[in-house]
Structure 1
């Protein structure tokens, strides 16, 4: 595992993070003494990443959904009160 001093790590942080994501962790040191180990986190669990379609098949949208309340909305815009 390679060691970088703080200044070098700040200068090349984006590149170092990309390397860590590929599995090449690194250490950040101050005055030659390692302080921090940087490694990629594991991938999130599949159940926590899926959001779109999570209610698929559990509810039904009425056919007139886009027209519900249309008369009331129209009155709000057409009234000259």
Structure 2
């Protein structure tokens, strides 16, 4: 939402003309109302942001793997689940 608490509003024609600008604003946290003949009909809101991983090890300490994660039994079970078992 904007800093004043007022949600920006675009009519459909302006929204089509400025769609990439609207999407950029939404990506930065704004909500945008689309209206037809002055009546609001849609709200464009940001989705939950994607996890931004900066590189290898960015999930360190957040994942737990079983001690047997790479055992023959686990690998065979996964292969079976995907129809790849010999």
Which residues of 2 match residues 2-81 of structure 1 at below 5 A?
Answer: 2-44=8-50, 58=70
The gaps in structure 1 that reach 5 residues or longer are: 47-56, 61-81
The gaps in structure 2 that reach 5 residues or longer are: 1-6, 53-68, 73-86
Tell me the alpha carbon deviations over residues 10-36 of structure 1, each in whole angstroms, 9 at most, x when there is no partner.
000001001001011100000000000
- Tell me the residue number matched to 1:78: none
TM-score calculated relative to the size of structure 2: 0.51
Number of residues paired by the alignment? Answer: 50
Q: Equivalents in 2 of 1:9, 1:29: separation in Å?
A: 9
TM-score calculated relative to the size of structure 1: 0.54
The runs of at least 4 consecutive aligned structure 1 residues that moved more than 4 Å come to none
Tell me the alpha carbon deviations over residues 6-59 of structure 1, each in whole angstroms, 9 at most, x when there is no partner.
00000000010010010111000000000000011002579xxxxxxxxxx727
Report the 3-state secondary structure (helix = DSSP H, G, I; strand = E; otherwise coil) of the residue aligned with 2:22: helix
